[in-house]
Amino acid sequence: HPHSRPRHSGARTMLPLLLLLLATAHGLDKLPTLEAPVLASSSLGGQTTASTFVLEQPRCVFKNVQEDTVIWLVVADPRAVPNFTNSVEPGGPGREFQQFLNSSLAYMTLNTTILNYPCPKNPGDITVLRVGSETGCATDKARPTCNGPLPGPGPYQVKFLALNGSKPVAQTAWSKPITLRTAQPSGSIPVPGSGHSAGMIALTSILSILFAILLAGLVAMLIWGSDASSGSSTFSKPEAVTVRRYNTHHVYDQPAARL
Amino acid sequence: MARSDDAIRILQGLLVFGNVVIGMCGIALTAECIFFVSNPHGLYPLLEATGNDDIYAAAWIGIFVGFALLALSILGIVAVIKSNRTLLLVYIILMLITYAFEMASCITAATQRDFLTPNLFLKQMLERYNKSEAVNNNDKRMTEGVTKTWDKLMLQNQCCGVQGPTDWQEYTSVFRTTHSDADYPWPRNCCVMNAQGSPINLDGCKLGVPGYYNSNGCYDAISGPMNTHAWGVAWFGFAILCWTFFVLLGTMFYWSRVEY
């Protein structure tokens, strides 16, 4: 009789049940799920702005794919993430950038061949993707895969999808939610009323006191100084005093006295 | 009364010396204030747009006070040597008037300097830089002045915004209404330029790659010259006034001892 391990009767139904569970867990895609995209380093000043954000390129993520595979970036509202299907073609109905957040809750953009993401990357190279940089096609309905500026602060979730023709062959996991910056109104900047520094207060008070002393001195000088000319401590003006030599004229007087 | 005469001679000598110093300080004050009024750093349009350019008024007063101090010091020297009561009285009264003006200048410069905070310039930059519609001619002139000054500042000092390029991201601005965030996260002059005046790497600048855009703020470049201006007028004037205080007291005492 054939060598076979004795099976429990219930095991026959367990295996199909397990397969069914696995299939529903992966959303019927059965694609390998690679590591999720990440935002670029925060040393970049423009890592997130009000309508763009910067991702690291998926270098060395998609291994074992053919050379003519095209890598797409999927940008989605978090509401679209649970029911997302990879089978809708890029730019197709429900995937137009121009209708993002209206009738499309996701769109696909930044398509490029796998050859543009060589592995390993040169150390020191900045390998990033700027999402939202194409402003020219933002309202052009003929370009549903436009990499246009995002319509609001989000949050958004992204993933990379590898398509061979129109068949998905690999995907990454969804990224963590990315929230963009919101600008505060410039009118809300507080411009405090005059706060006086210590230096200014010292300067004002000292100068005021000195000026007050001078005015008091002027008044005192005018009231009491005017009669100081009769005091004993005044001094004479150094006028040009000429001492006139008085001739005593003794010689002329004597003859008058003898007469 | 030889001893008293000696004392008076010493007082005369001191007063002449005091007046010589006042004269020289007057020349220095005039020169300093002319330098500030000539707007060497080109920051006057920013001040004018705040509506509070009183440190310039203080510098203008300083120019005339400096001249007055020079003239009055010469009058003082002549009056002390001649011991003429009338001349001395004229000197004292005119000096007190000049003293009052210089006091106003010092206090104005010190007070207005406290008013110029980073937030004031930030708000002004966001509300005026590259503003396209103007309310009236005056507004248009001030807006153009602010825009040109900021462009020149950012280019010459390799800086961006008041505290940094994030100023343009954190707050709404008039600039943002005409330049989209995706094309211009910050103004073009925040990019590092080559010798011809174009950005060396426009994409690098938009991404915010260090080395391709100016990541530091311009506040130091603004507050440095303004501090020098305000403190130069205020504290040098304060020093002159302290010295003048003693010379005037001495002159008042001398006047009261001169007989007609």
For residue range A150-197, list pLDDT tens digits in order: 998 889 999 999 988 888 888 899 999 999 999 999 888 888 766 788
Identify from A41, A42, A44, A49 which residue to disrupt to test chain B contact, counting B C-beta atoms within 10 A and taking the largest count.
A49
Q: What is the mean pLDDT of residues A233-250?
A: 59
Residues facing residue A53 across a β-bridge:
A48, A131
Q: Is B176 on the interface with A (CB under 8 A)?
A: yes
Query: Are B164 and B147 members of one domain?
Result: yes
Shortest Cα distance, chain B CAs vs residue A69, angstroms: 27
Chain-chain contact of B113 with A130 (C-beta, under 8 angstroms): no
Cα separation, B11 vs B182, in Å, equals 76
**Residue B144 shares a structural domain with residue B105:** no
Tell me, yes or no, whether B198 and B245 share the same domain: no
B20 and B112 belong to one structural domain: yes
A27, pLDDT greater than 50? no
Transcribe B160-217 into DSSP letters.
-SSS-THHHHHB--HHHHHS-TTT-SS-GGGBPB-TTSSBS-HHHHHHT-BTTB--S-
Q: Region A200-206: what's the mean pLDDT?
A: 92
Could you tell me which of B240, B251, B252 has the C-alpha nearest to residue B69?
A: B240
Q: Which residues of B touch A224 (CB under 8 A)?
A: 256
Show residues of chain A in contact with B107, CB under 8 Å: 200, 203-204, 207
Note down pLDDT in tens along chain B; length 260 residues.
Answer: 467 788 889 999 999 999 999 999 999 999 999 999 998 888 889 988 888 888 888 999 999 999 999 999 999 999 999 988 999 999 999 999 999 999 999 999 988 888 888 999 999 999 999 888 878 888 888 999 999 999 999 999 999 999 999 999 999 999 999 998 999 999 999 999 998 889 999 999 999 999 999 999 999 999 999 888 888 889 999 999 999 999 999 999 999 888 75
pLDDT given at position B126: 92
From the list B100, B235, B257, the residue facing A234 with the nearest CB is B257
* Contact check, Cβ <8 Å, B181/A149: yes
Same domain, B142 and B250: no
pTM: 0.78
What pLDDT sits at residue A80? Answer: 87
Give the closest residue to B101 by CA, choosing from A220, A205, A201, A207: A207
Share of chain A above pLDDT 70, in %: 74
Q: What is the pLDDT of residue B68?
A: 95
**What residues of A are in contact with residue B99 (Cβ under 8 Å)?**
211, 214
Residues B102 and B135 in one domain: no
| Architecture in CATH for domain A30-180 | Sandwich (2.60)
What is the ipTM score, two decimals? 0.85
Q: Residue B193 sits in which domain range? A: 118-218
Residue contact B119–A191, C-beta within 8 A: yes
Q: A238: cis peptide before it, omega within 30°?
A: no
- pLDDT of A231: 46
Q: With an 8 Å Cβ cutoff, is B79 touching chain A?
A: no
Contacts of B176 in chain A (CB under 8 A): 183
Q: Based on the fold, state whether residues B180 and B77 are members of the same structural domain.
A: no
Both B106 and B235 in one domain: the answer is: yes
Per-residue pLDDT, B96: 95
Give the minimum alpha-carbon distance from A154 to chain B in angstroms, rounded to a whole number.
15
Tell me which chain B residues have a C-beta less than 8 angstroms from the C-beta of A203: 106-107, 110, 234-235, 238
Tens digit of pLDDT for each residue in B49-92?
Answer: 888 888 888 999 999 999 999 999 999 999 999 988 999 999 99
| CATH code of the domain in which B169 resides | 1.10.1450
Q: CA nearest A216 in B: which residue?
A: B249
B109 and B27 belong to one structural domain: yes
What pLDDT, on a 0 to 100 scale, did the predictor assign at position B19?
96
Same domain flag for B98 and B128? no
Q: Do B198 and B236 share a domain, yes or no?
A: no
**Chain B: nearest CA to A236, how far in angstroms?**
7
- The structural domain count of chain B equals 2
HEC per residue, A136-193: CCCCCCCCCCCCCCCCCCCCEEEEEEEEECCEEEEEECCCCCECCCCCECHHHCCCCC
pLDDT value, residue A230: 47
Nearest to B83 among A184, A207, A237 (CB): A237
Q: Do B169 and A49 touch (CB under 8 A)?
A: yes
Token representation of residue B233: 């007028």
Interface mutation target, options B3, B5, B174, B207, chain A, most CBs of A under 10 Å = B207
Verify whether the Cβ–Cβ distance B183 to A184 is below 8 Å. Answer: no
**For chain A, domain boundaries:** 30-180
pLDDT for residue A224 is more than 90: no
As given in the structure block, the two tokens for residue B90 are 């004229």
* Same domain, yes or no: B7 and B103: yes
How sure is the predictor about A21, in pLDDT bands with cuts at 50, 70 and 90? low
Q: Indicate the pLDDT class of residue A101, thresholds 50, 70 and 90.
A: confident
